[in-house]
Amino acid sequence: MRRLAGPAETGYSLAACVRAGGFLVDPEWYRDAVFYELHVRAFADGNADGVGDFLGLTERLDHLVDLGVDCLWLLPFYPSPRRDDGYDIADYCAIDPAFGTLDDFRLFLAEAHARGLRVITELVLNHTSDQHPWFIAARASRDSPLRDFYVWSDTTERYRDARIIFCDTEKSNWTFDEASQAYYWHRFYAHQPDLNFDNPKVLEEIWGVMRFWLDQGVDGFRVDAVPYLIERDGTSCENLPETHGVLKELRRRVDTAYPGHAKVLLAESNMWPEDVRPYFGDGDEFHMAFHFPIMPRMFMALRLEDRKPIIDIIERTPSLPPGGQWGLFLRNHDELTLEMVTQIERDYMWDEYARDPIARLNLGIRRRLAPLMDNDRRRIELLTAMLFSLNGSPFLYYGDEIGMGDDVTRGDRNGVRTPMQWSSRRNAGFAPAEVTSLFAPLIDDPVFGFASVNVESQRGSTSSLLSWVKALLRVRKQTHVFGRGTIRFFTPKNHRVLCWLRSLDAEDVLVVNNLAATAQAVELDLADFAGAVPVEMFGGSLFPRIKATSYMLTMAPYGFYWFRLRRI
Ligand code: NOJ
């Protein structure tokens, strides 16, 4: 058995809690939390115009409470030309009128908080829309006082070593601006000019944006595209020390201005673990960061029926400073990114999961979880259970709790951003029946269509995926070990079985996963726990007492166990 990196601090104590607004707040709440990512536009339409909005979302909060999630992550809802689904922001401190008003937002936030749900929002600080007043002013004249809010050049020679991220659509990170006869820099779409963080005024403006939303009461931010804030010649323009300097300064200001409020900063940094680690600093930068490379490896391990990809990447993952936490996910609003794999692994993933090129986008696969799993409940459950028992906080993507499908024929990543399927009635219960057109077509194919896949029918069935996901959340919440414990792997002979131990103080939970489509037997060396009784956590059954000799388990195809090791 090998001991692997886990968060340095594993304890949970009441003494660590701070008082804010009369309540006891655990500053590390995000380590136990289950997150739920959703798009206001796609969740529920409350004003009958075919577009989701804050009124609709507020009316549906009880579904989220019932599901058992702790924190909502809202995709961008600010005024925007929506050429990158809202990641092209035209006004940081307002609500897109299509989604409601600031009062609607405040009501939503109050109702969410009243139900014990936290809310984090998007902070897109690397770039704005080219329709943002800053950029409109900046390009109007080379002498504009806002010119220096963006990155300009007379040639395309600078920063040549920076890769192109949206490689299917963009040919260069420079675009020529006819109006001011110069090139501007952008790491994403050409309509998303990068802000210039070498200009201290930009940081002041972004801090103003953060304060605005924190003062509304949001519990933190998912911070978009953090590696690209600063450019320097002769570098990849990613992860530069100056970028870390900007981020540390923002964290310092949050801590100073909101002491004891337990606000969380979550980094989107699609990098190798050793390159993401610096975004935690010494506990003075981000509280959380997504672990991107583990995600494709979960899909890979399942297809290969081999645990190696998962163990390798977790072994390569450095430990985090106290309070640090990984964010883990299977799917989100973007393509299933294959940036953090080798070319051979990428080809394998494309071959296995996206043979039809229409399902591919940039370096990834634009599909939801259930279609990727051929709608096989056993595989969906196994991957979700692994997500919930690895070392981090799990993120669910809206609709995946009911096994929603996708539409690969829709442009960009829109095929995984379709309206939530609430019922089998007209408009899938997403919008009132009299609404004739929705912001996007519903999924209505025979397998994944809303007539068969929807919340209402699954709520009424104890055997539905929704009921299973709820049970999974309940079991995870019995203990802090999943959010805060260390992880160590076992390496039994049978490499189709992936087994790890989560430990926190005196508590040990053994997780055993069968990655194979066939039944498997495994012999585990559990001598360290001789005398303990494994208690299966979903049903409470007692398994045979562990002896000094090897422990034999038989596993159903794609089966898994979570055992509490009880020393009786
Ligand atoms: C990452 C977001 O997840 C993605 O949807 C967006 O297109 C880019 N950042 C650019 O903002």
The domains of the chain are located at: 29-128+199-477, 133-185
From 75, 87, 129, the mutation candidate for ligand 1 (largest count of ligand atoms within 8 A of CB) is 87
Q: What sign results for the dihedral spanned by CA atoms 455, 456, 462, 464? A: negative
Top mutation candidate among 83, 84, 366 for ligand 1, by most atoms within 8 Å of CB = 84
At 560, the pLDDT band (50, 70, 90 cuts) reads very high
268 is catalytic: yes
Q: Which atom of ligand 1 is nearest to the CA of 268?
A: 1
Four-point Cα dihedral 337, 414, 174, 179, nearest 10: -170
Q: Looking at the predicted structure, is the pLDDT value of residue 2 above 60?
A: no
pLDDT at 4 over 50: no
pLDDT of residue 492 exceeding 80: yes
Task: For residue 127, give the ligand 1 atom closest to its CA.
Answer: 11
133-185: CATH topology is Oligo-1,6-glucosidase; domain 2 (3.90.400)
Q: Is residue 21 exposed (0-12), middle (13-18) or buried (19+ Cβ within 10 Å)?
A: exposed
Distance 16 CA to ligand 1 centre (A): 35
Please say whether the dihedral angle defined by the alpha carbons of residues 181, 182, 187 and 193, taken in this order, is positive or negative.
negative
Q: Is the CB of 188 under 6 A from ligand 1?
A: yes
- CA angle, corner 72, sides to 66 and 74, nearest 5? 135
Q: List pLDDT tens digits, range 308-358.
A: 999 999 999 999 999 999 999 999 999 999 999 999 999 999 999 999 999
Closest approach atom of ligand 1 to CA 126: 11
Ligand 1 centre distance from Cα of residue 334 (Å): 7
Q: What does the pLDDT read at residue 518? A: 98
Q: Pick the catalytic residue from 224, 285, 400, 401.
A: 224
Find the mean pLDDT for residues 180-193. 97
pLDDT of 1 strictly over 50: no
Residue 207 Cα, ligand 1 centroid: separation in angstroms?
20
**Distance between CA atoms of 539 and 478, rounded to whole angstroms?**
13
Q: Would the CB of 122 count as within 6 Å of ligand 1? A: no
Annotation says 536 is catalytic:
no
- Give the pLDDT band (50/70/90) at residue 25: confident
- Ligand 1 atom showing the smallest separation from residue 332 Cα: 3
Task: Given the residues 37, 238, 268, 508, select the one marked as catalytic.
Answer: 268
User: What local confidence, expressed as pLDDT, does residue 233 receive?
Assistant: 97
Q: For residue 568, what pLDDT is reported?
A: 77
pLDDT of residue 374: 97
pLDDT tens per residue across span 210-228: 999 999 999 999 999 999 9
Angle at which helices 465-476 and 377-389 pack, to 10 degrees? 20
User: How do strand 393-397 and strand 35-38 relate by DSSP bridges?
Assistant: parallel
- pLDDT, one tens digit per residue, over 56-82 is 999 999 999 999 999 999 999 999 999
Q: Is the CB of residue 335 below 6 angstroms from any atom belonging to ligand 1? A: no
Expressed in angstroms and rounded, the spacing between residue 143 Cα and the centre of ligand 1 is: 31
Closest atom of ligand 1 to 166 CA is 7
**Strand partners of residue 329:** 395
187 Cα nearest atom in ligand 1: 10
The runs of H, that is alpha helices, within 420-491 are 455-459, 465-476, 481-484
The mean pLDDT of the chain is 95
- Atom 11 of ligand 1, residue of closest alpha carbon: 87
CB 346 within 8 A of CB 309: no
Which pair of tokens denotes residue 352?
A: 């296995």
pLDDT of residue 8: 40
Q: 3-state class of 415 per DSSP?
A: helix
- Ligand 1 in contact with 165 (CB < 6 A)? no
225 lines ligand 1 (CB under 6 A): yes
Query: What sign results for the dihedral spanned by CA atoms 7, 13, 18, 24?
Result: positive
Q: How far is the CA of 511 from the centre of ligand 1 (A)?
A: 34
Question: What is the model's pLDDT at position 182?
Answer: 97
Work out the average pLDDT over 224-240: 98
**pLDDT for position 44:** 98
**How far is residue 560's CA from residue 498's CA, in Å, rounded to a whole number?**
9
Best mutation site among 41, 75, 224 for ligand 1, i.e. most ligand atoms within 8 A of its Cβ? 224
- What is the fold of 29-128+199-477? TIM Barrel (3.20.20)
pLDDT of residue 19: 56
Q: Identify which of 334, 339, 362 to mutate to test ligand 1's pocket (most ligand atoms within 8 A of the CB).
A: 334
What's the rounded mean pLDDT across residues 171-199?
97
pLDDT of residue 166: 94
Q: Answer whether 228 contacts ligand 1 (Cβ < 6 A).
A: no
Report d(CA 407, CA 414) in Å as an integer: 8
Which DSSP state fits 261? S
Give the tokens for residue 475: 């079991």
pLDDT tens column, 501-549: 999 999 999 999 999 999 999 999 999 999 999 999 999 999 999 999 9
pLDDT of 32 reads: 97
Distance between Cα 423 and ligand 1 center (Å): 30
For residue 11, pLDDT over 70 is answered with no
Helix axes 200-216, 102-114, angle to 10 degrees: 60
User: Under a CB-based contact definition with an 8 Å cutoff, are residues 44 and 57 in contact?
Assistant: yes
pTM of the model: 0.96
The 10 Å Cβ neighbour count of residue 444 is 15
Overall average pLDDT of the 403-417 stretch: 96
